[in-house]
Amino acid sequence: MSTGECFWYIGESLRPWESAVAGALARALLKEGLPLRCFSGGGGENLGIPDLLSWNSLTLVERTVLIGTRGALWHLWGEPPFWWNFLRIRARTVHTRFDGVCEWKGHPTRLAASLCSAGETYIPPTFDVKIHWIEDGAAPENEDAPPLFVLFQGTWEDRKLFGGAAGELSGTLQITEEDSRGGKLPPSGNAFLLLPRAGLSSALLAAHGALMGIPAAAAPSPLFDEILGKEGYIRLPPSKDREGVLSALRLLAGEAGRNAAAAARRYGMEQFPPSRGAGKLQSLYRTLSGKDE
């Protein structure tokens, strides 16, 4: 079976930093000459894919024709839409998800080797320094401003603990809800990420933050070591005791934090060039299409 044109559907469930990874991989594949047609189930501002089409802008007839007749190979990103099972009747499919909630719909792929189990294919991510999703109307960088600690996916206990620690350092705490889909990073210079949960989405967020000069403090884990490098983030204490958290925040807001962001940026550019992820996807597509030599 010849792959011909490969179709991508990028679901609306993706957060901005997840969309940025998918978009960077799509652009890398297009640069390698792979025929690629991409549809977005949500917004496309963080994807940056040439000729990207909105799935919602298509008529019912156009969608039916695509699902029923077009493309021998499709790649789904994020939570699967209801029509995915109909497509799988006639086409080979690949599925990349960013969390463990939805079920696999097609050949399973992961963006972190440490998360792969039997049968899952590892696809190296890639990060684009040109992608910017800073807060709308954010003030310019001001190094004299109080530290702004941005907490992602924290529990109520995390909010209380980190909020109190930030206050002791004359800083402020900004809370981003776990289910946020439109999260924006604050301007760099006095902003710092707090990631108490070891998850793929958090690790990708930290990698993009490092590209913008925003350091991260995270729960130590093989996942963060893989995405950021062992020197690319400040480690939060496992017990989350008050003194340990205060110490980590002091490091994060100081020279150690700036050094960690620089190390993560260098690591990401060296370990995850666009050609690496594109090459792995091309190899997978050839295998699934029966063209692997």
pLDDT at 224: 97
DSSP per-residue codes, 147-212? PEEEEES--HHHHHHHHHHHHHTT-EEEEE-TT-SS--BPPTTSEEEEE-S--HHHHHHHHHHHHT
Q: Tell me what percent of the residues of the chain surpass a pLDDT of 70.
A: 88
Do the beta carbons of residue 292 and residue 282 sit within 8 Å? no
Instruction: Report the distance separating Cα 17 and Cα 42, nearest Å.
Output: 14
Instruction: Report the distance separating Cα 276 and Cα 28, nearest Å.
Output: 9
pLDDT at 290: 77
Q: What would the pLDDT profile of 137-190 be if each residue is shown by its tens digit? A: 444 455 667 888 988 878 888 889 899 999 998 888 888 765 444 556 666 678
Q: What would the pLDDT profile of 17-57 be if each residue is shown by its tens digit? A: 899 999 999 999 999 999 999 999 987 777 889 999 999 99
Instruction: Report the distance separating Cα 256 and Cα 261, nearest Å.
Output: 9
pLDDT at 292: 61
- Which CATH code fits 6-126+273-288? 3.40.50.2000
pLDDT category at 239 given cuts 50, 70, 90 is confident
Do the beta carbons of residue 149 and residue 249 sit within 8 Å? yes
Instruction: Report the distance separating Cα 238 and Cα 196, nearest Å.
Output: 9
Where do you find CATH 3.40.50.2000 in the chain?
6-126+273-288, 148-271
Q: What is the pTM of this model?
A: 0.89
**What single DSSP character describes residue 13?**
T
Which of the two residues, 148 and 216, has the higher pLDDT score? 216
Q: What would the pLDDT profile of 86-109 be if each residue is shown by its tens digit? A: 999 999 999 999 887 788 999 999
pLDDT at 188: 63
pLDDT at 180: 46
Kind plus residue range of the DSSP H or E element containing 284: helix 274-288
* pLDDT (average), residues 201-230: 94
Instruction: Report the distance separating Cα 32 and Cα 94, nearest Å.
Output: 19
* pLDDT (average), residues 48-71: 93
pLDDT at 134: 53
Which of the two residues, 100 and 284, has the higher pLDDT score? 284
CATH among 3.40.50.300, 3.40.50.2000, 1.20.1560.10, 1.10.357.10 for 148-271: 3.40.50.2000
